[in-house]
Amino acid sequence: MRSTCPSEGELLRLVEGTLGGSDRERVESHVATCEDCGARVRALERLTEALRGAVRGAPEEAASCRESERVSGYADGTLAAGEASQVEAHLARCPSCSALLADLWRSPDGAAERGPDRAVDRVLGRLEREGRSAVVRIAERTLTVVTDFARSGAAALGAGLLPVSETPLAAAARAEPGEIRLSWVGSGGIALEGRVRLREGAPTLIARVTADGKPARAISVALRTPGSTRGPESPDPEGRIGPWPLEIGRNTVVLSGIDLDGGRLELELELVTHDRPDGE
Amino acid sequence: MATRKNIDRDVIELVERLTAGDSDAWAEFIERYRRLIYSAIVRANARFHAQWDETTMEEIFEEALFKLVRRRGKALASWKGECKLETWIYRIARNVCVDTLRKQVHRRECDEPGQQDGEPDRSTALSTASDVGRRDLRMSLDQAIERTLSPKEALVVRLIYFEGFTYREVADRLGMTVGAMSGFVYRALAKLRRDGGVARHWEER
Ligand SMILES: [Zn+2]
Ligand SMILES: [Zn+2]
């Protein structure tokens, strides 16, 4: 190939007729003058035609013929008389469309071909749970992580100020110098990893929301503190939100959106912060 | 719904009930279309040489069904009545099959990294008798694809040439650009062309 020759992909797209406007003109005029590319294009034409021709004639195939749209109309009996007879003529020639028609007519025999009942039962069960999910998920809001730290921050943390988790969920919180880590894994593949940073007296929350390990951008996050409300906001492309300042008292992180099972997710996580008792 | 003018009333009603959250409509929808969905999977299994066992087919079937009816049939909102609902459902089921194949291809290529660019094995010559019917031509092309191409190339070539997918559809499903996809297909076709049996086939025609 010469350096001015079009790329292999462009030659193929010329043959397939999917190259647009000026690209097509450029490649066409090159092919007209370049023997190598001309030969490549002719070879591609023969091969792609052989491939497509093979499937057009194969009796066991379906749904690749352009007529297949009208065949489904024919199956439903919604075509005008003239159109219906055209389709009938086509069906006589085209095994692919006849096979599709057989599928579309859904003959009632043969339990196996209806697909296993077990799978249908599981789907119905999943749909049931999905329908109830709003209720179920709200019941999970009991996750309350009580963090007992002083406003004065990092220095106080080592001294027995471990957060207490009062929750039946898989929630864990642990303290590290200068911050408290939270992690919560919920149903529907949604997880929240967060940190409460204790710096300069004012705790701040940074969190990352994920769905099956990937940033969960369909979930929006809001924070209600005793004095104000932040959000709801969509997480950034990495799934992060914050830093948001927390206040002493009850801080509620509200997650809402659609989870991976398609259920509606409404979830509140409470972070209760206390002032450290005097004199410690 | 205004564009769904040539569609049967009862189909439109069923879809409307489903999207309005009528839970009886789920079972009705599934009962009505399960045969069509399962047959799309059976066909894909045969056509792509996927070698799915019954458990896998059952899983695909479950995914396809759930995908259609979940979230109050939200997926059905993208059906505008430009084609029959059957055609549209068939496509959705086929796409779930393609997604399964894509993952399967990925696993196979990770398991057998040496296989991808191997020289074609020419020991099993294709039948080239000039009187082979189209069915035989399809079978020998199928064999050549299986023998000569990597699993991913085989999947892409079958999608485009046997299943009528557009380049853009395949590129989107496999997470490639159309440009990269067409180069990829070119190289796959070039491999097929070098396969002696295939070449003889179309030189003779
Ligand atoms: Zn050239
Ligand atoms: Zn046809």
pLDDT of residue A118: 92
pLDDT of residue A31: 93
Same-domain pairing of B19 and B76: yes
CATH number for B161: 1.10.10.10
Q: How confident is the model at residue B53 (pLDDT cuts 50, 70, 90)?
A: very high
Q: How confident is the model at residue B32 (pLDDT cuts 50, 70, 90)?
A: confident
The chain-wide mean pLDDT, for chain B, equals 77
Token digits of residue A159: 């001294």
Pick the range with the lowest mean pLDDT from A190-204, B82-96, B168-182: A190-204
Same-domain pairing of B23 and B100: yes
Q: How confident is the model at residue B137 (pLDDT cuts 50, 70, 90)?
A: low
Our separate counts of H helices and E strands in chain B read 9, 0
pLDDT of residue B63: 92
Within A58-183, residue ranges assigned H as helices are: 68-75, 81-93, 95-104, 117-139, 154-157
CB contact burial A205-220 (16+ within 10 A = b; e otherwise): bebbbbbeeebbebbb
Token digits of residue A192: 């929240």
Same-domain pairing of B83 and B137: no
Question: Which residue, A85, A87, A95, A269, is CA-closest to A191?
Answer: A269
pLDDT tens-digit map of A23-35: 999 999 999 999 9
Same-domain pairing of B134 and B95: no
A265, β-bridge pairs? A257
* Mean pLDDT, residues B19-29: 82
Highest mean pLDDT among A61-65, A111-115, B78-82: B78-82
Nearest-Cα residue of chain B relative to residue A77: B8
Q: How confident is the model at residue A38 (pLDDT cuts 50, 70, 90)?
A: very high
Question: Which residue, A256, A280, A260, is CA-closest to A269?
Answer: A256
B37 within some domain: yes
ipTM, interface predicted TM-score of the complex = 0.72
**Nearest listed ligand to the Cα of residue A96:** 2
pLDDT at A139 over 60: no
pLDDT of residue A154: 27
Same-domain pairing of B138 and B101: no
Residue B38 touches partner A, C-beta closer than 8 Å: yes
Q: Which position has the higher pLDDT, A74 or A8?
A: A8
pLDDT at B113 over 70: no
* Mean pLDDT, residues A120-131: 80
Residues of A in contact with B138 (CB under 8 A): 54-55, 57-58, 61
Q: How confident is the model at residue A56 (pLDDT cuts 50, 70, 90)?
A: low
Same-domain pairing of B16 and B60: yes
Residues of A in contact with B166 (CB under 8 A): 18
Pick the range with the lowest mean pLDDT from A38-47, A137-146, A212-221: A137-146
pTM of the model: 0.53
Token digits of residue B18: 């489903």
Cβ-based neighbour number of residue A107 at 10 Å = 9
* Mean pLDDT, residues A123-144: 50
Same-domain pairing of B36 and B66: yes
Same-domain pairing of B33 and B75: yes
pLDDT of residue A58: 46
Residues of B in contact with A44 (CB under 8 A): 186, 189
B189 within some domain: yes
Q: Which position has the higher pLDDT, A89 or A182?
A: A89
pLDDT tens-digit map of A189-230: 667 777 766 554 556 778 888 777 778 777 788 888 778 888
CATH number for B67: 1.10.1740.10
Report the SS3 class of residue B130: coil
Chain B nearest CA to A185, separation (Å): 22
Highest mean pLDDT among A99-103, B34-38, B198-202: B34-38
Same-domain pairing of B97 and B17: yes
Interchain CB contacts (distance < 8 Å): A and B: 173
Identity of the amino acid at B114: G
Domain of residue B141, residue span: 128-201
pLDDT of residue A236: 86
Of B107, B139, B158, the last residue of a domain is B107
pLDDT at A106 over 80: no
Q: Which of A44, A59, A69 sits opposite B87 (nearest CB)?
A: A69
Q: How confident is the model at residue A253 (pLDDT cuts 50, 70, 90)?
A: confident
Q: Flag if B202 and A46 touch (Cβ within 8 Å).
A: yes
Residues B7, B84 contacting (CB under 8 angstroms) = yes
Number of domains chain B is built from: 2
